[in-house]
């Protein structure tokens, strides 16, 4: 490890660890997701440190950028108050899980640490001889071409699965979308605007004065139902402010 590499590593190893632990311990689902984002970002930088810039950037774009964003989207849709109930259906499973988890982590950690003692590195220079991106492309399109192409089957399955599990077919007329609502609103026979208000005339300001439609006819719809229908007296219907 060069100095810069070591410095970056020792700076970022703490966010990575704290993020991982925080992700498990956080009560709030969004905080949990954010801790995970922190860990993934740090891991992305670790990849870059280890001469794999492409994987590092893919990690940041795909995992932190897209997948975690999708997580956040769903969590925000569900709402911030939806937290897990803390009732254990299996007694003691939390403790057991913690113990087993720590035990497994310690076992794998020490095992791999010991195994890395006298390891002979395969050589990053050789793998990255023609550039990191080119190196990955070379493997994808020669040695692992079959697996790479078959991955498309996985993607198609995932897409079909999402449709099957989440898509409801709507029959026509079952639910009106925004464009249909608008079309119906402006369809001949329907009146799109608010009803004409009563009594807003130069000649009268009584709410009992019915409004006029554009062609000059009076409309009952403009008067409140509780008002008695009556003829206006001549003084009421006379223009206000003109008596002199």
List binders of another protein among 68-107 (CB under 8 A).
69-70, 72-73, 76-77, 80
**Binding window for another protein (CB under 8 A); candidates: 17-25, 85-93, 109-117, 227-235:** 109-117
Report the nearest approach of another protein to the CB of residue 59 (Å).
9
The single residue among 95, 103, 106, 111 that binds another protein, judged by CB under 8 A, is 111
Both tokens of residue 143? 């040695």
Q: Which is nearer to another protein, 182 or 228 (CB)?
A: 182
Strands 211-212 and 218-219: antiparallel
Spatial CA neighbour of 74 closest among 62, 64, 82: 82
Is position 14 an interface residue for another protein (rule: CB under 8 A)?
A: no
User: How is 64-131 classified by DSSP, letter by letter?
Assistant: IIIIHHHHHHHHHHH-TT-------SSTTHHHHHHHHHHHHHHHHHHHHHHHTTT-----HHHHTTT-
Q: Which is nearer to another protein, 228 or 233 (CB)?
A: 233
Report the nearest approach of another protein to the CB of residue 86 (Å).
20
CA 58 to chain centre: 20
Interface mask (CB under 8 A) for another protein, residues 177-196, using x and -? xx---------xxxx-----
For the chain, give the longest Cα–Cα distance.
Answer: 113
Interface mask (CB under 8 A) for another protein, residues 16-55, using x and -? ------------x-xx--x--x---x--x---x----xx-
DSSP at 212 = E
**Binding window for another protein (CB under 8 A); candidates: 8-16, 18-26, 87-95, 160-168:** 160-168
Residues 215-244 contacting another protein, CB under 8 A: 215-217, 239, 241-242
Is position 172 an interface residue for another protein (rule: CB under 8 A)?
A: no
DSSP at 144 = T
Report the nearest approach of another protein to the CB of residue 217 (Å).
7
Is position 108 an interface residue for another protein (rule: CB under 8 A)?
A: yes
> What number of helices (H) and strands (E) belong to the chain?
10, 2
Is position 200 an interface residue for another protein (rule: CB under 8 A)?
A: no
- Residue 78 makes CB contacts below 8 A (sequence gap 6+) with 29
């Amino acid at each position: 490890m060069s100095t810069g590499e070591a410095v970056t590593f020792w700076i970022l190893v703490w966010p990575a660890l704290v993020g991982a632990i925080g992700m498990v311990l956080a009560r709030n689902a969004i905080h949990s997701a954010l801790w995970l984002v922190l860990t993934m970002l740090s891991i992305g930088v670790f990849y870059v440190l280890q001469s794999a810039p492409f994987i590092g950037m893919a990690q940041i774009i795909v995992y932190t950028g897209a997948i975690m964003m999708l997580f956040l989207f769903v969590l925000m849709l569900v709402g911030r108050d939806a937290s897990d109930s803390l009732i254990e259906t299996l007694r003691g499973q939390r403790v057991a899980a913690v113990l087993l988890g720590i035990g497994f982590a310690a076992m794998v950690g020490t095992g791999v640490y010991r195994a890395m003692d006298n390891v002979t590195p395969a050589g990053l220079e050789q793998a990255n001889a023609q550039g990191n991106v080119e190196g990955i492309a070379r493997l994808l399109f020669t040695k692992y071409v079959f697996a790479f192409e078959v991955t498309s089957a996985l993607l198609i399955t995932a897409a079909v699965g999402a449709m099957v599990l989440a898509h409801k077919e709507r029959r026509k007329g079952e639910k009106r979308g925004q464009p249909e609502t608008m079309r119906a609103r402006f369809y001949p026979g329907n009146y799109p605007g608010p009803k004409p208000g009563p009594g807003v005339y130069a000649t009268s300001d009584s709410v009992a004065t019915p409004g006029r439609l554009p062609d000059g006819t009076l409309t009952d719809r403009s008067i409140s139902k509780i008002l008695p229908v009556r003829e206006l007296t001549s003084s009421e219907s006379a223009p206000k402010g003109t008596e002199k």
